[in-house]
Amino acid sequence: MRKIIWSIDAHNKIFYLILGGRKVGFYLSNRLAKTFFMYLRKGVLVDFEITPRMKKIGKFSYYQVAHFNQIISLNPLIIHYDLTSMRREMRKVLDSNKYYLFIDFEMTMPGYHEHQFSPEIIQAGYVLSEVQGKILHQDGYYVLPKEKMTLSRRTKKFLSLDEDKFFSEAVKFDVYYKKLEKIIKKYHPKLVVWGKNDLTAMNDSYILHDKPNLTVDTDFIDLLKLHKDYFNLKDDLGLFRAYKTYYNVEFDQAHDAKDDALVTKYVFDAFVAYMK
């Protein structure tokens, strides 16, 4: 639907259009209102889609906005949002980098009765490749936590870990750090993660182990966020659900960092191919 806004109700996150000589209201969810309501006012051109359900507020029901295609102020002309242009720019950014490092971590989890807790990286997995190209390097290994010489029962259960095997095979954080440093200095890749947790874990690990940062936040691409923005998804999409959607096959999720990094690469390749 492409119309000019007649009026707005900022308190209830509603804008009104005149349709067939009648004033009709359209409701924005909290997620959409947080991003777009600041641009909405009388006289602004909106192009949008609606959901199948109505939203009841007080005595009246309103159509619910699914997503916007465009939001344009006409006087003066300002394009606040254009979904097609955003998708085009997204494609351009993903094509502009030569190397990508797909990275995933598994972290410690608190004990069942533990209240103050900071997660630590205990497994790292990464895959280095050219954009939609061959894999140049891949690796995965356990990483020793800084101080604890035992893992919580919850961590072992979730990751299906044998504690003796873990502590006999895990490398020191310095080994992980130097391996990652070597890749980053040689290839200067964009780091691709699925969601914010891995970025947060990496930033926290620098502080915990008193190491200089190898990365800044702009070095990362959150592939989950790209999917949400590109496809206008309301809820988070699981990595393995995305893989199944693209390839129509199941991938057994075993909570293994190397496997997850590899799946992230496969989903990235399929996403770039879909955009093209």
The answer to whether the beta carbons of residues 16 and 6 sit under 8 Å apart is yes
Q: With pLDDT > 90 as the criterion, what percentage of the chain qualifies?
A: 79
Q: Is pLDDT above 80 for 169?
A: yes
Say how many C-beta atoms besides its own lie within 10 A of residue 264's C-beta. 26
Cα 32 to Cα 22, 26, 67, 229, distances in angstroms: 25, 12, 8, 11
DSSP H stretches of helix in the chain: 30-36, 83-95, 153-159, 163-169, 173-187, 197-208, 223-231, 239-247, 257-275
Q: Using CA atoms, how far apart are residues 69 and 148, in angstroms rounded to an integer?
A: 51
Q: Answer whether 117's CB lies under 8 Å from 148's CB.
A: no
First to last CA, the chain: 26
Q: Which residues pair with 81 in a beta bridge?
A: 71
Above 80 in pLDDT, residue 112? no
Range with lowest mean pLDDT among 9-18, 22-31, 243-252: 243-252
pTM, rounded to two decimals: 0.86
Q: Which domains does the chain have, with CATH numbers?
A: 2-82 (2.40.50), 97-275 (3.30.420.10)
Q: What is d(CA 12, CA 16) in angstroms, rounded to the nearest whole number?
A: 12
- The model's pLDDT over 38-90, given as tens digits with 9 standing for 90+, comes to 999 999 999 999 999 899 999 999 999 999 999 999 989 999 999 999 999 99
Q: How far apart are CA 68 and CA 162, in angstroms?
A: 49
Calpha distance 26→2 (Å, rounded): 13
Interval 228-247: pLDDT, tens? 999 988 889 999 999 999 99
Q: Which tokens belong to 23?
A: 């004033």
CB atoms within 10 A of CB 253: 14
| For residue 125, pLDDT beyond 70 | yes
Task: Please state at what angle helix 239-247 crosses helix 257-275, rounded to 10 degrees.
Answer: 50
Exposed, middle or buried by CB within 10 Å (0-12, 13-18, 19+), for 191? buried
